């Protein structure tokens, strides 16, 4: 009896020994899906990937220089005629063949005349006649600052009389106080023009806002604007 029991126990032990690897293998296979199921969870979510990819172009865009607005560009200094004179005033105004033509419309006397004439009549014809009359009261067409070969300097104004352009005033001068855009002319001696002034002023104040114009401070007519032109005229 005892021998039989021992044989049965031996058989059962051998069966368990043979079946144990199979059970362990099946158990390992059953646990594998749990390990695989954890892998997707550990990976970043699709939305997070999309957000990360979308953020990359923005980071690159920040590194690129932004174009400057059109308003930040330096304006052309010639566009409004306000560029500063490029040379000292005394040198600029005495340039050869340079004349300054009187701009009645943009001068103080012209602006005052326009306002007064407009108050008198709205008729275009009457307004034009009024302005022409006001213009005729300012006896100047153009001026020059002449530098003779001897070095003598002359301020000469020209006016039309019976169709002829005549030297109305002709006064010698010496350069006085000078800055980058202003000069004082010290007038010397008598007026040698055909319509001499009874009393020659001691000084003539001139402003040079740019290379293309000057403003003469006239004691009678106020600020008078002249536009620079190149023309051939005799020097006497």
Quick: pLDDT tens for 187-229: 999 999 999 999 999 999 999 999 999 999 998 999 999 999 9
Q: Which residue has the higher pLDDT, 21 or 143?
A: 143
Q: For 57-86, write each residue's pLDDT tens digit.
A: 444 444 444 444 444 444 444 444 455 677
pLDDT at 93 over 80: yes
In the chain, pLDDT over 70 holds for what percent of residues?
Answer: 62
141 burial (CB, 10 Å; 0-12 / 13-18 / 19+) is middle
Of the candidates 208, 228, 219, the one whose C-alpha atom is nearest the C-alpha of residue 108 is: 219
Tell me if 184 sits within 8 A of 176, measured CB to CB.
yes
DSSP state of 65: P
pLDDT higher than threshold 80 for residue 12:
no
Closest CA to 217 of 190, 209, 225, 177: 225
Smallest Cα–Cα separation from 210: which of 184, 189, 235, 228? 228
The percentage of residues in the chain with a pLDDT greater than 90, rounded to a whole number, is: 56
**What pLDDT is stored for residue 53 in this prediction?**
52
């Amino acid at each position: 009896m005892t021998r039989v029991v021992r044989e049965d126990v031996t058989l059962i032990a051998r069966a368990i020994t043979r079946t144990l690897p199979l059970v362990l293998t099946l158990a390992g296979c059953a646990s594998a899906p749990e390990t695989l199921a954890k892998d997707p969870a550990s990976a970043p979510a699709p939305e997070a990937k999309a957000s990360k990819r979308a953020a990359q172009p923005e980071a690159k865009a920040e590194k690129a220089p932004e174009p400057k607005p059109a308003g930040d560009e330096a304006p052309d200094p010639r566009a409004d005629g306000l560029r500063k004179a490029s040379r000292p005033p005394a040198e600029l105004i005495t340039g050869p063949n340079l004349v300054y033509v009187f701009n009645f419309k943009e001068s103080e006397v012209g602006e005052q005349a326009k306002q007064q004439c407009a108050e008198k009549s709205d008729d275009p014809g009457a307004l034009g006649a009024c302005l022409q009359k006001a213009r005729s009261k300012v006896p100047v067409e153009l001026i020059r600052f002449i530098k003779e070969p001897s070095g003598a300097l002359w301020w000469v104004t020209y006016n039309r009389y019976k169709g002829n352009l005549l030297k109305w005033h002709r006064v010698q001068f010496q350069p006085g106080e000078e800055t980058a855009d202003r000069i004082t002319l010290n007038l010397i001696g008598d007026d040698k023009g055909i319509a001499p002034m009874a009393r020659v002023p001691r000084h003539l104040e001139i402003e040079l806002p740019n290379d293309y114009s000057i403003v003469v401070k006239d004691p009678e007519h106020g600020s008078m604007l002249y536009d620079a032109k190149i023309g051939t005229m005799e020097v006497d």
